[in-house]
Amino acid sequence: NAGVTQTPKFRVLKTGQSMTLLCAQDMNHEYMYWYRQDPGMGLRLIHYSVGEGTTAKGEVPDGYNVSRLKKQNFLLGLESAAPSQTSVYFCASSYWGTGIDEQFFGPGTRLTVL
């Protein structure tokens, strides 16, 4: 099992450009999440999904959009990148079940917006 994978690993954008980050999981998890991590701020939730075809806003959703067309994939889009979106982005997934709250994280995408 590959677990949670993310593509790309690194990306440099110019202000105003758009891009899509792809997250894939092979654990048949219902829940998927996108986080950003900035120095000294831990991880902050951008958007999440509780199942195929559903999405919801997290703590810092502005400037991002997401889609979950297939259960195993969760896409994060930046329509018009801004320097404030320079960050490390982590995708995570978790099982929907009693007593299991662990989230499994992907390796991260380091995004720089110039």
Partner 1 sequence: EDKVVQSPLSLVVHEGDTVTLNCSYEVTNFRSLLWYKQEKKAPTFLFMLTSSGIEKKSGRLSSILDKKELFSILNITATQTGDSAVYLCAVVISSGSARQLTFGSGTQLTVLP
Could you tell me which residues come within 8 angstroms of residue 39 by beta carbon, excluding any fewer than 6 positions away? none
Q: Minimal distance in Å, beta carbon 24 to partner 1?
A: 14
CA distances from 17 to 11, 35, 84 (A): 12, 20, 13
Residues in the chain, overall count: 114
Only one of the segments 17-25, 65-73, 76-84, 97-105 lies at the binding site for partner 1 (rule: CB under 8 A); that segment is: 97-105
Q: Minimal distance in Å, beta carbon 16 to partner 1?
A: 30
Cβ nearer to partner 1, comparing 26 with 79? 26
> What is the amino acid identity at position 111?
L
Q: Nearest Cα to 51, choosing from 32, 66, 65, 75?
A: 32
Q: Minimal distance in Å, beta carbon 18 to partner 1?
A: 25
* Residues in region 12-71 near partner 1 by CB under 8 A: 31, 33, 40-45, 48, 50, 56, 58-59
The SS3 assignment for 7 reads strand
List contacts with partner 1 (CB under 8 A): 4, 31, 33, 40-45, 48, 50, 56, 58-59, 90, 94, 99, 101-108
